[in-house]
Each structure stands twice: as structure tokens, then as C-alpha cells.
Structure 1
Amino acid sequence: MNAEPAVQLRLLDLQALDARLDQIEHRRRTLPQLARIAELEARYAGVRDRVVAGETEVSDLERAMAKAETDVEQVRQRAAKDQELLLSGRVGSAKELENLQREVESLSRRQSDLEDAELEVMEKLEDARSALATVTAERDGITAEIDRLKAERDAAWAEGDRDKEWVGSERTKVLLDIPADLLALYDKLRADHNGVGAAALHQRRCEGCRMELTPTDIGRIREAAPDEVLRCEECRRILVRTPESGL
């Protein structure tokens, strides 16, 4: 294959632009914010479940608290009525008076037991509300951090898109100077060699594989016509001669 030396040099321009595009895509995929967002989102799922469990516990305890308060109030009212009746003098017989007295004492013990149960539920409810407030704050903090990181990610992606657009426009200009057959060879080699299809010969070293050429290879290159498209014997990439080739 043959191409004018100036055209071959344009291959290096194309390679530089393609490398820039690869770098942009690499940065897009490897932004540190992405790993942190994934980590926080996984953590958020667990914290969210704890919030739901905490809300459920608080709700259950609030219902239990309401029931305990109702039970205590009912016993308190019943005891108050019996106590009022006991003191009213309306109870005629000693037997009825004795039974009423025993009922007042029983209600008093019942009220004490219910109040103890109510206090226990109240303490559990306070603990549950405190725990819920803590885990809710943790969830909200994670959400805020994810939002901040996503904003940074989106800003970085937008900057990358702007760079990509500019590089793409420059690449389009370079493509106009490269024949189809040479471009096809370059694209194939780039696909086969980690994104590098053409490399400069710099100070007798291939910039693609970083190998120094042998004297035999240097002699072959010296004898080659200026428009001959050369290949590195080591990595088989297109080898472009430049004023800094050291020939």
C-alpha cells in the first residue's frame, strides 16, 4: 500500500484524536463518583428497609400505647365510680359493701398493673422513635450524598460530551485527507491492537510497541520509497516516518 508522506502523517493526527476519544470514554466509565454512587445505593437499600421496619415498629407501638391508655382509663373510670359509690352511703348491706370494697381493691391492683404495662410500652415507643429518627437521618444523608455525586457525575459527563463533540469534528476533518483503503487498514489494526492502529517511528523506536528497531529494519526503512506504507515488524501497526525518526 502507498500513500503520500503527508497523508501518512495525518494518520498520526487521526490516531491522536482516536486516543483522545478513547480517553474520554474511559474517564466516563471510570469516574470515581460512579463507584461511590453504586456503593451508596447498595447501602441505601439496606437503610431504607430499616426505616420501613422502624416505621412499622413505631406504628405498632403507637397502637399498643393507645390501647394501653384506653385500658387504664376504663379501669380508672370504673374504680372512680365504685369509690364514689362506696363513699356515698347508698350501699345498704354489709355484704354488698364488702364486695364493693374488694372490687375497688381489685381495680386498684388492675390499674397499677396496666399503668406498669403502659409505662413499658411508652419506654419502648420512645426507644423506637429515637432509633427511627437515627436511621431516617442516615437515609436522608445517603440520599443527599447520592444527589451530590450524581450532580458531579452529570457535570463531568457533560464536559466529556463537549470534548467528544469537538474531537469528533476534528476527526471528521482529518478523515477527508485519508484514502479509504488506508483508513480501512488503520481501523482494522486499531481494533486488533488495543486502539492503536498507527504509530510514529521516533528515534528508531516504534511508539506503538515501544520496541527499538533492529539495524536490519532500519536499513529496510531507509531504502523504502517515501510513499510506501510501512508496518512495524514487532507489533504490525502502521509505522509512520517523521523528522524525528532518526533514520
Structure 2
Amino acid sequence: MNANPADQQRLLDLHGLDVRLAQLAHKRRTLPELAEAEKVDRRLADLRDVLVAAETAEGDVAREQKKAEADVEQVVNRATRDRQMLESGRGSAKDLENIQHELQTLARRQSDLEDVVLEVMERREAAQTRVAEMTVQRDEAQARRDEVNAVLAKSSEAIDGDVEAVTAERETTAGVIPEDLLALYERIRADNGVGAAAIRQRRCDGCQLELDISEVNAIKAAAADQVVRHDVCGSILVRVAESGL
């Protein structure tokens, strides 16, 4: 293939823009905020799990407290009925004596159940405190995630602006390169990442390997408009003032 030396030179400009786009893509992938976001996300996920467990535990204790309070209420209601019967004086002496004994038993039972209620209330208070603490930590982690998101959005917006500008410049540069030469460049770039490279001091700028003597002689003998390629990496070799040929 033959191409005007000036068009071959433009391939180096195009390559420079492609390198810039690759650098911007790398910058986007390696933003320090991404690592921070991942770290915060892991903590946020852990805190959410812990909070769910704490809320579940608090709910279990709440149901336990409700049952214990219901047990106390049941004993109190029974004792109230017994006292009413005792105060009414209805029934035989034996029945009234039995009621007296039952009231004593119910009083002991009520005392025991109220102790259970107090113990459960203490555990529920501790569970509620745990839920409150985990909620605060979860909210703090979410706030930090929101801060990181804001910084990421700002950084990404700046990169997007650079990409847009470089892409526009690339389109302009590519638009003045002959189609067949551009197609060859794009095909080579797709294969090995470097479509064209300058020869500098008999070294390929693409793979950084020195040209052997046979390649040097072949390039020297080639016409100025002949498109030459590196036998090793396949890149289009563009002759420049510093080629040393």
C-alpha cells in the first residue's frame, strides 16, 4: 500500500489521540474514589445485615415481653375474680378457704411473672439500644457513600468532558486520512493495540524493539509513500526526522 507521507504522519497524531483515550479510560477505572466506594459498600452491606439481625432480635424480645405481660394480666384477672368472690362471702367455708390459698399462690405466681417481665424489658431495652446504635452507624456509612458518589460523579464528569474533546479531535484527524490507510490502521490497532508507531533511532516506538539491519535496509530502499510495517509487532512504521535511517 502507498500513502502520502503527510497522511502517514497523521497516523501518529491519531495514535497519540488513541493513547490519550486509553489513558482516560484507565483513569476512570482507577479513580481512588472507586476503591473507597467499594470499601464503604462492604461496610454498608455488613451494617445492614447486622441491623436486620438486631431488629429481628428486638422483635423477638418484644413478642416475648408481650407474652410475659399477658401472663401477668391473666394472673391479675384471676386474682381479682377470686377477691371478688371472697369479698362477696358466697360459698362454703371450705370454698372460701380454697380461694384464700389460691390467692396466695396467685400472688407468688404474679411476683415471679413480674420478675420475668422486668428481665425481658431489660433485654428489650438492650436490644433497642443495639438497633439504635446500628441505625446510626448505617446512616453514617450511607452518608459517606453519598459523599463518595458525589466526588465520583464530579470526577467522571471531568473525564467525560476530556473524552468528548479528544474523541472530537480524533474524528477530525481521522476524517482527513485516506479510507484504506485508516482501515489498515484500525485493523492493526484492534489486533495489537498499536496501529502506527514512529521509527526513532532505528527503534519502533510501538514495541520499543530495535529494527534489525535487514528491516533498516528495506525501509531505506522503500519509496517515501510506501507504507511499511514492523515485522515483529505489525505496526505501521512511520518515518520521522529522528528515525536515524
**What amino acid sits opposite 2:141 in the alignment?**
I
C-alpha displacement at 1:222, in angstroms? 2.5
SS in structure 1 at match of 2:197: strand
Tell me how large the CA RMSD over aligned residues is: 2.7
Structure 1 residues 8 and 92 mapped into 2: Cα distance closer, same or farther (>3 Å)?
A: closer
Q: Is the aligned partner of 1:230 residue 2:228?
A: yes
Cross-structure match for 2:177: 178
CA-to-aligned-CA distance 1:156-197 (integer Å, 9 cap, x gap): 22111101110011112211321111101100110011x210
**What amino acid sits opposite 2:203 in the alignment?**
R
Tell me, in whole angstroms, the C-alpha distance in 2 between the residues paired with 1:231 and 1:51. 63
SS in structure 2 at match of 1:2: coil
Moved more, 70-79 or 98-107: 70-79
C-alpha displacement at 1:129, in angstroms? 1.4
Pick from 178, 187, 202 the counterpart of residue 204 of structure 1: 202
CA-to-aligned-CA distance 1:91-120 (integer Å, 9 cap, x gap): 897545533431231122111110121122
SS in structure 1 at match of 2:223: coil
Cross-structure match for 1:68: 68
Tell me, in whole angstroms, the C-alpha distance in 1 between the residues paired with 2:38 and 2:206. 36
Tell me, in whole angstroms, the C-alpha distance in 2 between the residues paired with 1:216 and 1:94. 129
Moved more, 222-231 or 94-103: 94-103
Structure 1 residues 95 and 231 mapped into 2: Cα distance closer, same or farther (>3 Å)?
A: same
Tell me, in whole angstroms, the C-alpha distance in 2 between the residues paired with 1:92 and 1:189. 110
| Contact 2:89 2:96 survives alignment (8 Å) | no
| Contact 2:72 2:114 survives alignment (8 Å) | yes
TM-score, normalised relative to structure 1: 0.85
Tell me, in whole angstroms, the C-alpha distance in 1 between the residues paired with 2:76 and 2:182. 95
C-alpha displacement at 1:20, in angstroms? 1.1
- In the TM superposition, 1:189-200 aligns within 5 A as 189-193=188-192, 195-200=193-198
| Identical residues among aligned pairs (%) | 51
- Number of aligned positions between the proteins: 245
SS in structure 1 at match of 2:2: coil
| Contact 2:198 2:239 survives alignment (8 Å) | yes
Moved more, 209-218 or 30-39: 30-39
Tell me, in whole angstroms, the C-alpha distance in 2 between the residues paired with 1:89 and 1:155. 82
| Contact 2:200 2:244 survives alignment (8 Å) | yes
TM-score, normalised relative to structure 2: 0.85
Structure 1 residues 92 and 228 mapped into 2: Cα distance closer, same or farther (>3 Å)?
A: closer
CA-to-aligned-CA distance 1:210-245 (integer Å, 9 cap, x gap): 011223322332232222212112212101111111
Cross-structure match for 2:58: 58
